[in-house]
Each structure stands twice: as structure tokens, then as C-alpha cells.
Structure 1
């Protein structure tokens, strides 16, 4: 019995042990595509001042050569349109929350969008597909209203979606930073508009498939048609989502959040730095740790419905044994998160309370014990 208990403890705390052995920093090569003729390797963002970038898109990708272009096309078409409500909402949010003078704020608020694709050790042509697309966009320069900055970050090995998102968020320079999946499962335009509506009052706005499904089932018509209600999911994913949410409520203790796993999340830039700087989980359950950290930091959260549909080509093996292994692993990770933060093994840096003003990234903060 003692040996079994010791084994259980070792298994539960394995993610913490693994995280403690992980070297600090990100082992990645990052390239910024600046012109049709050249792309340079850089470890700093000298190409633009942080205040000039309105939105950073962080796109984690693993073997996405077949699905990537359609997602990039849909996203770029929306952002480069003459009228882009999502970006305009973010500009208004910056104006309403900026702690600088009106003249300075207006001057620094541009329409620059920073694209950061994080290649998580792909074995296919994901990087080449993205590079080719970025260079084509730089040549054509379709949009006169929105400046696009294209960056590629390549992890040295497959490290997990959480590691890829963490790397992208910490490299990003946008006032707002949006995590978006490479498969395009969330319809980008309506999704961005849905989360941007709350950017001025919330530091973390996340898309939800659960909210969309509930509202679409209870309402025949919706006045807010811009966000959509379409959620198309296989029964196995519905089952996994329901079970996972039950574990979140029981183990993590966050009963207010309906969907932690939707890959469409908007962060205030300074909050993203605080949340992702010391993120420990790098694989399936990293979203759960984000919500635990956000709760301990007392960030203002908002869950909004987004139009979502399942896209063929998922990397999740839906075989019975594979799903059981994934479920057990995610349950273990959630228990580990709860215990590590409760016992003080992992801590969070407590920033100043969000008061409707853009936080200063250089402000020092206390540790939350």
C-alpha cells in the first residue's frame, strides 16, 4: 500500500517535476519577414515599437501544412478589409483604457497586426507554407488600412501546444494578443468581434463553444447575429468536453467557466505576459492552468460565444485507448495544478488591480502566496 501511494504521488506530481527540470527561456528560432527580398533572424523586436502594434495573432501549429492556408486566407481577408469592426473595437478599447494623453494615444494607436506562427516541431512543410504565404502578402500589400508584420517562431522540438502558445505570447508586442488555432475552427471575423467587444473592461476574454451551443438551443432568433451560434462537433468531442468540464469544476474549482479548451482567447498584452511567463503545463491541460492563474491573479474574465465547427485533420487520436490515456493524463495534470498552487510549489506574480487603464509592463509586482 505504501509503495502504491508513493507511485501515485510520483505520478501526480510528475508534471511539476518535469517543469522544474525544464530550462528557463524558449529554445526557438524566430524570423521576421520584412520585405519581399529578405527575411532576417532576430531575437528582439526592433522592427516596431510595442505601442504601435494593436493586435498580435499567436498561431500554434503542428503538422498543419494542409489546413493552414485556408485559415490564413480567411483571417487576412477579414483584417485587410476596408472596414474591420474587430480592429476598430480594439482601437476604441485602447483609447478608453489608455493612461496617456489623448493626443499621444491617438498617435500611437495604429492598425498594425503582428502574425506569429509558432511551429511546434512539425515534421511536414508547415514553416515553408507559412513563409511562402507571408512573402506573397508582403509582395502584394493588399491592405492600405492595416499594416501586417509576419513572424515565424520554430521550436527546436515538439514541446506541446502550451509551450507553443507560451513562446508566441512572450514574443508578441501587441497591446492585445489573440490565441487562434491553425485549423480555422473558429470563424475569425465574428470571433474577433465577439471577444473585442469586451476588451476595454476585461483582461482575458475567451471564446466558448459551450455558451454558443446552449444559446443556440434555447433561442430561435438572436439579436446579436454578428457573433454567430454555429457549433458543429462530433459526439466524442462533446463527451470529452462534458467530462473535462466536470473535472474542472470538481478539481480546479472554477464552476463559472463553461469551456476552457476553445482555442480562441484574447488577452490584454500586460496580462498575457504575467499569465504566460511562469506557465508550467505545456500540453493538453495548459488552458486549465491559465484559468487557475487568472483566478489567483483576480483578472477580469469574460466568456463569449463564438461560431465554431470541427475541422477534419485533428491531431487527436480518437481511438478508445488513446482517448483513455489522454483523459487520464489531463485529469492527472489538473490535480497537479490544484495541489501545486495550493501548496505554494507554484506561485503567481500579483499585478496591480486592473482599473480600466493599460497596465505598465515594467511595473514590479508582489508574489501571491
Structure 2
């Protein structure tokens, strides 16, 4: 399911692309290539029939009223429910909505697929639950155009707040995750808020060397940027916990902790 609309004039100043390794573009099937826009917003989705349509609708409505050219890319991670079917009404959306597949399981694999197949000036991802207000993008885009390599939403930066708190078990697991993540990224208060945006060419180069498919994938991505001296900035947000997460403490918790240790030991 693809909706392609005529491109509007590009927003902002001309962008000088950074170097891209050969592997980031030459291995992409022609069927997955998309027109270049100022911003591509990736939504990884695994069995998200209950939440994805509302999130995409909110995102399209917001982007249609902004001055930059944009597109939404849903990366279906081998869903077994009606995720694809509920996206059908977006064929005629005022902002192009694409759905691509990713047979490799894991949120990290889905996000990497979206970034690697993008040709956008800026690219990033949001969670299907719409927990971070989409209006945060106003500040994100301003910072990216100032030259930051990555602009990430934070629930723990000064000025951030929880509109709806997480359950106690999730809060405990989050505390443990943060402690391990700080072994690698001591200057970042919140590595796991699902709202992160990047310089497009740089992100495509970096993800070509990333390998973690699970929920620690963004720590790996940020670590590679940080170790290369790239500027990362956190933006405080008003965040809401939304029921229905596919994260399982029993299934994903230990794997994520092990992945964090692997990242901290790698150089």
C-alpha cells in the first residue's frame, strides 16, 4: 500500500550530504526506494492493529500543516493481525504514507530497514503508541537544521514530565536498563524514549554497521554516533504511558540487558 503525492518545494536551506558507505544504498531493492523529502518518519509495527491507525492519522494531520516535505513509513515487522488492513484508508492521505516489510524480527531490525531505505534529508522513528506528542517535531526539526546529528526525546531531561506514569514493574525495569545504558552513554539521561531523529545521510551510514535487533538497538545507534564525536541533544517531553506495548519483561528483558553489556564492551 503506497500513496505518492507530488512533492512540494523543499523547506529550509540546501543540505550538503555527508559521506555514505557503498553498502547503505547499493543493496536496497528498487521496490523499496522512495522519493527524497525533508523528513521521513518511521513507525515500526508488530501486531499494532489497535493503535497504528490513530497514530498515523495524528502524524499525517500534523505533517500536512508543516512547511517541510515529509512522508510516513510504517515498517511491518511480520505482523499476524490486521495491521496492514487498518492502514488502507491512508492511500489518499495529504502526506505520503508507505508500508514496507521487514521479515527479520525485532524493533531494531524494523527501524534499521526504514532508515536504510530512506533518502530523506532527516529521518527518525516514533513508537506506534503515540506516547510522545508529535508536536515535539517542531523543536526537533529546528535543532537538526542547526547541525545536530541526533535529536532525541527525553522523559528525564530538565523540563520533562510524565503525563501518565508507567506501571511499577516497568519503572523498575527501566531503572535497571538506564543504569546499564549509562555505562556506554553516561551523558544521556533517557536512551529509550521512542522518538529519535537524525541527519539522514549520517544515520544511513551508521545503521549499516549496527546489528542489534531488539529493544537496545537505539543505544547501539547512539553509541556509534557518540564514539564518532557526533552531537546528540535531548529534548524534554510530556510523555504518557500507553497500554499495549509489545515489550515483554520475561521475553525481552534479559536479552536487552545482555545487548547493553555487548554494546558497552564493543569499541
Q: Secondary structure at the match of 1:57?
A: strand
Provide the C-alpha distance between the structure 2 equivalents of 1:177 and 1:116, rounded to a whole number of angstroms.
10
Matches within 5 A, 1:63-78: 63-78=47-62
**Offset from partner CA, 1:301-324 (integer Å, 9 cap, x none):** 101112211111111235xxx1xx
> Given the two structures, how large is their TM-score scaled by the length of structure 2?
0.83
- Judge conservation of contact 2:160–2:238 (CA < 8 Å) in 1: no
Indicate yes or no: 2:212 matched with 1:303: no
Distance 1:314 1:154 in 2: 20
**Residues 1:331 and 2:257 aligned together:** yes
**Unaligned residue ranges in structure 2 (runs of 5+):** 6-28
2:84 matches 1:153: no
Name the count of aligned residue pairs: 243
Task: Work out whether residues 75 and 99 of structure 2, in 8 Å CA contact, stay in contact via their aligned partners in 1.
Answer: yes
Counterpart residue number, 2:14: none
Offset at 1:216? 5.2
Q: Which SS does the other structure have where 2:143 is aligned?
A: coil
CA contact (8 A) 2:70 2:96 kept: yes
The one-character-per-residue Cα deviations of 1:185-236 (angstroms, maximum 9, x if unpaired) are: 11111x212322311130101001122xx5357xxxxxxxxxxx74632222
Aligned match of 1:119: 76
Q: Give the Cα separation in 2 of the matches to 1:216 and 1:174.
A: 29
The equivalent residue for 2:159 is 215
SS at match of 1:43: helix
2:138 is equivalent to residue 193 of structure 1? yes
2:129 counterpart (166, 171, 183): 183
TM-score, scaled relative to structure 1 = 0.61
Q: Larger % of helix: which? A: 1
Once residues 308 and 249 of structure 1 are traced to their aligned partners in structure 2, the CA distance between those partners, rounded to angstroms, is 21
Q: What is the rounded CA distance, in whole Å, between the counterparts of 1:216 and 1:177 in structure 2?
A: 23
Matched, 1:276 2:207: yes
Q: Secondary structure at the match of 2:159?
A: helix
Asked if the contact 1:32/1:149 (under 8 Å) is kept, the reply is yes
Distance in 2, matches of 1:58 and 1:33, equals 15
Q: 1:216 to 1:259 in 2, by over 3 A?
A: closer
Cα displacement string for residues 276-332 of structure 1 (whole angstroms, at most 9, x for unaligned residues) = 1121101121111112211121111101112211111111235xxx1xx53322221
Residue 294 of structure 1 pairs with residue 229 of structure 2: no
- SS of residue in 1 equivalent to 2:259: helix
Task: Say if 1:112 and 1:149, in contact at 8 Å, map to a contact too.
Answer: no
Larger Cα-atom Rg: 1
Q: Distance in 2 between matches of 1:42 and 1:259?
A: 36
Classify the secondary structure of the residue corresponding to 1:290.
Answer: helix
The counterpart of 2:40, out of the listed 53, 56, 73, is 56
